[in-house]
Homo-oligomer: A and B are copies of this chain.
């Protein structure tokens, strides 16, 4: 992965227009377009546990997660953050909010030390006028975001907790060797993303393993019956 090496001085990197991993964020780009983005983007690092942006504050830049793990959700005072989404770089942390009404609608916190890139919206809009291909790529990225949100909405409206977990496990198992997967987030965060409580997640996990669909051991889950799981996921 062509991420910035951790020790590098960040400001210097930005000035020197170090190549950032745009293809992972936006898809294939012409060299000239990538250079425009390199020019526009400013990198930033945030240590583990710190806030990346806050709900209600102005969103003047697209925020991309280059490396590390971060969570988006609602931060409630004295109750911690209920993660609606956990991301591993490279991925967009804020795309719709800055391009839309200009206000962050969620809180984001770093769950490990993270490297970010921020693209100021207004200069980006100007750049799109001069480099229309960038516009297409942004359109694609937003369309993917719409698809993702649409899928989650469907799930939440029409599936029960068991099906949602099954669907999530199937998605995670995609492309994994032998259906063995290690959970990289706290279970409470997984639960939160799936719209259930940690207690319910725990019970559902047990239920699935009692039915022989999966085997759970701590943070390791082995999918024993992918087809059965898929069947449940579609119920």
Contacts and interface: CB of A to CB of B under 8 A. Distances in A.
B125 A136 contact: yes
A160 interface: no
Contact of A149 (B129, B132, B149, B195): B149
A84 B146 contact: no
Contacts of A96: 142-143, 146-147, 150
A157 interface: yes
Dominant SS at the A interface?
helix
A194 to B, nearest CB: 10
Given A143-B99, A143-B100, A146-B146, A129 B125 contact: no
A145 interface: yes
Contacts of A145: 142, 146
Nearest to A96: B146
Contacts of A195: 156-157
A147 B84 contact: no
A42 interface: no
Interface in A14-63: none
A153 interface: yes
B139 A129 contact: no
B99 A150 contact: no
